[in-house]
Structure 1
Amino acid sequence: MHGRRDTRVRSGVADAAVAVRPTGPVPAAAGADTASAGTDASGPAPRVVPAAEPTAVTREQGLAALAAAYRQLTETVAGRPDADLMRPTRCTGWSVVDVLYHVLLDGQRALIALATPDDGVADTDFITYWRGFPGGPGPGEHARAVRIAASAFRPRTLVQLWDETSSAVVRAARSTAADSRLVTQRHVLTLPDLLATLAVEASVHRLDLTVDLPDASDPDPVPLALVRRTLDGLLGAGVPRPDWPDREYALKGTGREPLTPAEQRILDGSRFPLFG
């Protein structure tokens, strides 16, 4: 991050908006500054709001977001012809089935994490976890490995594997104690924080694989709201940012869509994307 902002999660404060927040524009916080009404070559100056202060994710919020993200991803790919599953995505060089295989690997990692408790203190949370995955210059060895591995499966077989694995992750998460500390990616996370990272991953990648699927439904607002909370936490509480709808914030905050000149001016000094 540009500078070091405090992104520690304040425990014990639930964000009730996670379960009900619509996908429309984010309402301005009381007393929030707004951009001037002037225009430039990039169009009207966007409305500005402060990034929200991080609050802890509850077990119920994490479960709801994960179940919704996984369910919608499954619904998006289930029953599609192979030609649809070979369409391009926002991930350079990856087809729909390649993105699905990448998320399948994440589901398999989730099952391992849920079966790997740790007695130590959690060393990261659902926000700081993403500092290890900054936006990079482009695809690397993992991208190539995913393409090769995914090509070994019939697309419908991969859809079935995803369906079975994602359902197993949600069942296992529901039977895991709320105060569990679990190991993944060489980190220790609480159960709610782990579930939040999984939901964010699935929600963003669902946006990736629907770019050439015009009949796909709108993204579920529950996991998207968790993406917003994550991005705000990485940006830093109180830092001015454009008042994006959650979907647009997810795409721009993770480098899927470029910032306009007006947005760049608002975010002057803040590193974007916040994670890739």
Structure 2
Amino acid sequence: MSLWFAIAALALVQGATEFLPVSSSGHLSLAHSLLGQGEADVLTDVVLHFGTLLAVVWHYRDELLRTIKGFVSGVRDLAKGDREGAKANSGFMFSLYVCSGTLSTMVIALSLKDWVEGVLRGPVLVGSMLLLNGAILFSAPRHLTQTGAGEGELGAGLSLKTALLIGLLQGIAVIPGISRSGLTITGALWLGLSGTQAARFSFILSIPAISGALILHLGELAPGQQVDWGGLALGATVAAFVGTLCLRFLVGTLKRARFHHFAWYCWALGLTAVALSVR
């Protein structure tokens, strides 16, 4: 099988499943098995995740710019002793919520890392976790919170407690077969956020998490490794393009309160993976 074809296929899977709540890690694990690729190549994994990271940054570019400006303005307010001004700055408060969520993600993810890499592997386990992921998605509230005028305000509906809890859920999602977006968005919906707010915080919170994981993986690269830069560029491009489309689709699905429909797909794929592995 052509290496470029395999990379493009994996990029398609990564771009779609990084944002749709069906577990990118679980799908990539199954895709590697189907393509006969064995364990994921570290550099390929880094490049594909970089592609989907670009998709998030592009989709939320306006919100990210407002967050950066708000953070700088908030720091200036604090330097002048204006704590009330900093608290009233939605961009500054949103940046604090992202930092808080990232810290709780780090604690949980690093605690689970060795256990996940050493024990939680194989199609049977991934299939079982996909079944659990389906149950999580099916539990999502059908009648989403409506926030009206506050919908576009950064940090609307969030608190320090909410941010920490969503970050904790993101850390748990290092388990293959459990969707990061599925777990964090479902949790955010149950905590009272609207679909738009839940998606926005979930995906912006993923930026430092994915960036940190990429840095850790870069340290695992073998020195002198031969690199097919053309194939990797293709993979990053496909992952970014498909990821952008799927991110838009997911946000629209949340607005229509149909998030729980993804549960049926997870159950079907999970049952198939388990059945094919134990036959």
Instruction: Classify the TM-score, shorter chain.
Output: 0.3 to 0.5
Output the TM-score relative to the length of structure 1.
Answer: 0.34
Which of the pair is proportionally richer in helix?
2
Which of the pair is proportionally richer in strand?
1
